[in-house]
A = this chain, B = another copy of it.
Amino acid sequence: MSDQKGFVVWMTGLSGSGKSTIAMAMIPKLKARGVNFERLDGDVVRASLTRDLGFTKEDRAMNIERVTFVAKLLSRNNVGCICSFISPYQSVRDSVRSQVTNFIEVYVNAPLEVCEDRDVKGMYKLAREGKIKNFTGISDPFEAPENADVEIKTDGMTVDESAEQLIKYLEENGYIPTLA
């Protein structure tokens, strides 16, 4: 706890790429190291912080804005943040980077076909049928990170391997302690 720094692991990627799953897999690993951290994810923030917001472009921007405020306050007080948001625009991610402490841009990269095939929430089907508009990867662009700090190709790794890759990055950069 005393030898941790604030940081913001920001996972960006298509819906279904594995962002939230990796975040969940990181939780026990961070706890085992005694790290103070929070997971910031759609399911966490939409229960209160952003429950007035829908999925229009404006609402999604405001969603990220509020999350950024929270991540800024946590990270500058030595608390780690594990954030998973599609966040398709480089300019938005750059804006988060400029506001928080120790921003780590993580590109959770899986081919669109794979994400669409997984279709965990049935959203790709609806997007293909035109029932959801402005869906990232189908009817809205996803700007792949130009210089991601970490890239995780979830297509060829297990969830645990993906989470370990991030933990190792945090350890090697001195953000979290190694296991005793």
Contact = CB atoms under 8 A, between A and B. Distances in A.
Interface stretch (A14-22, A70-78, A103-111, A123-131): A70-78
Contacts of A70: 49, 69-70, 73
A74 B73 CA distance: 8
Nearest to A50: B66
A11 interface: no
A147 interface: no
A87 B70 CA distance: 21
A70 B69 CA distance: 9
Contact of A65 (B48, B68, B78): B48
Given A62-B52, A69-B49, A77 B36 contact: yes
Contacts of A38: 73, 77
A96 interface: no
Contacts of A2: 2
Nearest to A52: B62
Nearest to A35: B77
Contacts of A66: 48-49, 66
A169 to B, nearest CB: 21
A79 interface: yes
Contacts of A37: 77
A69 B70 CA distance: 9
Contacts of A74: 73-74, 77, 79
Contacts of A78: 36
Interface string A65-99: 11011100110011100000000000000000000
Interface of A: 2, 36-38, 45, 48-49, 52, 62, 65-66, 68-70, 73-74, 77-79
